[in-house]
Structure 1
Amino acid sequence: MEGQEHIVMLPFMAQGHLIPFLALARKIQQRTGFTITIASTTLNIQYLSATIASTSNSQLDSNIHLAELSFCSTDYGLPPNAENTEDLPLSKIADLVAASTGLEAPAHRLILDIIAKEGRPPLCIVSDMYFGWAANLANNLSTKELIDFGFKCFKATCRKRVGHTC
């Protein structure tokens, strides 16, 4: 659709981040009609694709696109195909967080492709809090960055219901 806004979402590489980003994308798309692109590594995009297929509302999901960002886990001392926290022992999770900086260049290329196709940058980039590089990316590409701190909702619920911090 000509002139339709576009949002790019960059979830961290964990089911506990991917699924909430998909839910958020669906809510945004439902309320606004914007085009949403969720970008992640190949295996995470396969996971999201299967999730969308099994829970799809085709009218709602038609403007939610998935984009693969190249990532080679072994380049960062991780096991082959370790693209998600579920693929790693707890001792390697921090290494995956550090390795996630390798997604900056492919995300940059993706957004440049969107700009070339649409003639303007996305309305914003919604990034996971672990992607500190996304702020510079948004700034360099003349768009806005929104950071998702989804865990705070759970933490606030714990505080309210249990009476202490989690």
Structure 2
Amino acid sequence: MNRSSEANAGGSVNFDKPVFLASAATLLGLVITTALLPDSVNQFFSALQSTIVAYASWYYVLVVAIIIVSVLLFAFSSYGDIKLGPDHSEPDYSFISWFAMLFAAGMGIGLMFFGVAEPVMHFLSPPQGTGGTVAAAREAMELTYFHWGLHAWSIYAVVALILAY
């Protein structure tokens, strides 16, 4: 463990004060600005989103494709055999149990709402084209599969590996 995540004798967790203070100040500044100027902040982030969608969508697709390939390489190469934890430890649960718990935790709450709502939302108001059409239904399902499929799980796997290692 590194210094920023070790618990001291009193049970509290040590943390890196400069990182915490900079993060807290940034977040607090954003919250205060949003509370005081909601219309301006909304206009700014809407313009930012439109710019990203118009000029950098390809970048997001490329990054996710690279992440998928990286996760598969990690899983099926010798790196997939690296034990996360002490050499002498044994897992508390079987692979199937871990997979089921992680899958249920990751999908449970999301599917309760978005399993039905997301495709309907994209069908009625698609990013491109007219809502309520056959083309909108096709695009709605494509977006839903993209958001809930291998692409999203690959991103989750990278974050999980970073936290676990």
Measured against the shorter chain, the TM-score band is under 0.3
Q: Greater share of helix residues, 1 or 2?
A: 2
Q: Relative contact order (alpha carbons < 8 A, sep ≥ 6): 1 or 2 greater?
A: 1
TM-score, structure 1 as length reference = 0.21
